[in-house]
Amino acid sequence: MARAYVENPDLNQSRASVRAQDEEAPKALAGKRPKASIQATAGWQVGAIKIPAGRSANGQRQFVDDAFSSFPRGATLAVLQTLFDGGRTESAFRQAESSVFAARSTLRLTEQAVLQNGAAAYMNVLRDTAITRLSRNNISVLEQQLRVTADRFSVGAVTQTDVAQAQASLAQARSQLYAAQAQLKTSIAGYRQIIGNEPRRLEPSPSVEPLLPKSLNQAITVALAEHPGVTAALHQVDAAEQAVKAAESVLSPTLSVGAQLTNERDAILGVPGTRQFAAAVVGQLNVPLYQGGGEYASIRQAKERLGQARLNADLQRDSVRASVVSSYGLLETAKASLTSWRAAEKAAEIALIGVRDEAKVGRRTTLDVLNAQQALLNTRVAIVVAQRDLVVASYAVLGSIGRLSADTLNLDVAIYDPSAHYDQVKVKWFGVETLGGP
């Protein structure tokens, strides 16, 4: 479980997705931060100027042609600061922040799925290993039974039919072993996919029932408050509310102030040697009146999406409630099933001993012994399956209430904290280096 928490690629890509979502916050804050730019121009210019030179004797105006070539160049530094934007930046930031919180809840969903799948993969390998071992033991028993039957046939105690029945049961057992081995290979592949390495020396794992609420009603209450599916939906509602405010801010006036410094040479009519320096500070007020109606459509659209987010929150609550009830039912079923199969195993063991004893004195047939042996095998396989189902169901219940986490399970790992990256990038004004983690 600890290895899956650290190395599972699905979980790590979800963490990277949250870190990418974190960057929406500084992008939103950029709306009220200053913007600065430098624009430089340079080029070559040729031209001619007619300069008035008075009038001739007959009164006609005279001009002197003056050709020139120059290298006009200049640079402009511009700074713009938004003072008021109708609350657009604040709403966009709160929307981004709510989306970050929703992404964290989605990450918790992925973490729960990985841990639950990891527990199931672990128990699947244990189950299939035990079933394979039982199948091998069954073959050994049936081989011994076949030898005994053959010996008894040689002395006329049983018929050829009894030998054939023993041979058929042995062949069937070998087929079951092959199926169990194939299933074990499949479970090992699933374990490798989720955990990241090959299973070695797996020990039986207890259920996590001590971590569960004492009753179903308590579990439902906890789930509705803590399940990441519910919290993600509620954060999405908050984000949708802020999206409505951001859309409405387009109708508000905006106020900004800008400063500009310009230095140019040889740029006035292209005359060489000319210089120009200018500085300006300008305030700008923009009052929107009508922009074609697109802004009103955006507001209506944002409101519809808000309604959709609220309905989705209700849907998530209903889904989580149903999941808790269902998972608790599966857990209770697994517990009752395990108790029943253990009782059946004791009865099957007694029955097998009795049938064997009766077969020795001719009161039971070889088929009766084989059937009793198969019944005992079936109950032991059912016990292994029920033990697996009980542990997996307990993890499913813990996940259904939203408490399946590395912290709750007390895994020996460094707990991933998504807020650390967010706190770093939220106040970051510049820089392109990433601050990602595992």
Give pLDDT, residue 387. 94
Give pLDDT, residue 267. 67
Instruction: Write the pLDDT tens digit of every residue in 86-109.
Output: 999 999 999 999 999 999 999 999
Give pLDDT, residue 178. 95
CA–CA separation, 306 vs 199, rounded Å?
A: 47
User: In 3D, which of 417, 397, 29, 433 has the Cα closest to residue 215?
Assistant: 397
The mean of the pLDDT values for the chain is: 90
Contact partners, residue 169, CB within 8 Å, separation at least 6: 142, 145, 370, 373, 374
What is the model's pTM? 0.84
Please state, as a whole number, how many other Cβ atoms lie within 10 Å of the Cβ of residue 438. 11
Ranges in the chain, pLDDT < 50: none
The domains of the chain, with CATH numbers, are 2-40+71-408 (1.20.1600.10)
Q: Taking the CA atoms of 283, 289, 294 and 295 in sequence, report the sign of the dihedral they define.
A: positive
Give residue for tokens 């944002």.
302
* Residue 21, token pair as written in the block: 């979502």
State residue 45 phi and psi, 5-degree precision: -140, 140
Give pLDDT, residue 418. 92
DSSP, res 213? -
Give pLDDT, residue 127. 94
Give pLDDT, residue 62. 75
CA–CA separation, 398 vs 226, rounded Å?
A: 11
